[in-house]
Amino acid sequence: MPSPSPKTVAIVGATGAVGIEFLRCLTARNFPVKELRLLASARSAGKEIAFKEQTLRVQELTEDSFKGVDIALFSAGSGIAKKFAPAAIKAGAAVVDNSSAFRMDADVPLVVPEINAGEIKRHKGIIANPNCSAIISITPLWPIHKINPIRHMNIATYQAASGAGAAAMEELVESTRASLENRAYEPKVLPHPYAFNLFSHNADIDPATGYNGEESKVIQETRKIFGDPDVRISITCVRVPVLRAHAVAVTFTCERPITEQEVRTIVAKAPGVRLVDDRARNYFPMPRDASGQDDILVGRIRQDIGDPSGHSISLFSAGDQLLKGAALNAVQIAEYL
């Protein structure tokens, strides 16, 4: 099989937390880069960032930034994506967008490569990267769903500061330092004190349903990615004082009875996940262990004793929000492109 030809790649939002991880993923996976363009706002233009043996200068993002670009990796928010993705497509680039701007557009593939890579080939210029909590929640469930369809998921997320960006990570560090030193600290990025605290995810709440935007994204995106509009999903998203890597508790109910050993066997062979399930040592997935790892860690696999029918299993997972939850998933999509 011939080697892929080197590509001209643009990173939009190159100075953000996910933008930096894009660079690391491209390097670690030896992506065939002919030219790399780092694009960001005017205030970040001129900054220098290392990539392999080069030092690259960040350029201001404009509609003329994409001439000659093959693949544009976007991680700069929905507003920027809606404004500049059309210019990238017009210039001939394929866009992989990390925002929520296009995820639920029927003409835009929403892709987790371990689940539905085949969707990539139908793109019309844009492929959407799913919500980080959705990716980490459902990637371990897909191989189970293929064998014994999942009819209901009850999910609770424990989401790190990284999900709200570099500024939120800094706020967690600074507010923790202030708390330990008995100093007052006024939150600036998140709505509540973060140090030694947790709170309901800070996305806006729908007054009619009581679900917040993060929860709604996971519900809608899971159905689209699974290609199953009938799967029932209950979810509560919580922000916890962890720097990076989200954790997720899931209890799911299958169409037919299923045992914990069946699930453990399926998970052990599944792509993109790693079994961490040591009852003897009480050692299970933790954000600390998942940080910096490509795989989603999965464990605490056990029969749900609240369901005497034997159809339900509980498990716990942890995955790096900046990697598999964002940059890595996008780079995997770019590899397929």
Q: Mind telling me the catalytic residues?
A: 132, 246
Q: E strands along the chain, which residues?
A: 7-12, 33-40, 48-51, 54-57, 59-60, 71-74, 94-97, 126-128, 150-159, 199-200, 232-239, 246-254, 273-275, 296-303, 312-319
For 129, list phi and psi in degrees, rounded to 5.
-90, 130
* Angle (CA) 173 175 181, round 5°: 105
Residue 233: closest CA among 289, 304, 156: 156
DSSP string, 104-138: T-TTS-B--HHHHGGGGGG-SSEEEPPPHHHHHHH
Q: How far is CA 291 from CA 160, 190, 204, 280, in A?
A: 11, 22, 27, 24
Instruction: Report which residue type is found at 296.
Output: I
CB half-sphere exposure, 11, CA atoms < 13 A: 27
How many whole angstroms separate alpha carbon 69 and alpha carbon 72? 7
Show Cβ contacts of residue 145 under 8 Å, excluding neighbours closer than 6 positions: 226, 228
Residue 288: closest CA among 270, 276, 306, 300: 276
DSSP 3-state assignment of 33? strand
CB half-sphere exposure, 78, CA atoms < 13 A: 7
Tokens matching residue 209: 């349903």
Show Cβ contacts of residue 186 under 8 Å, excluding neighbours closer than 6 positions: none
How many whole angstroms separate alpha carbon 197 and alpha carbon 208? 27
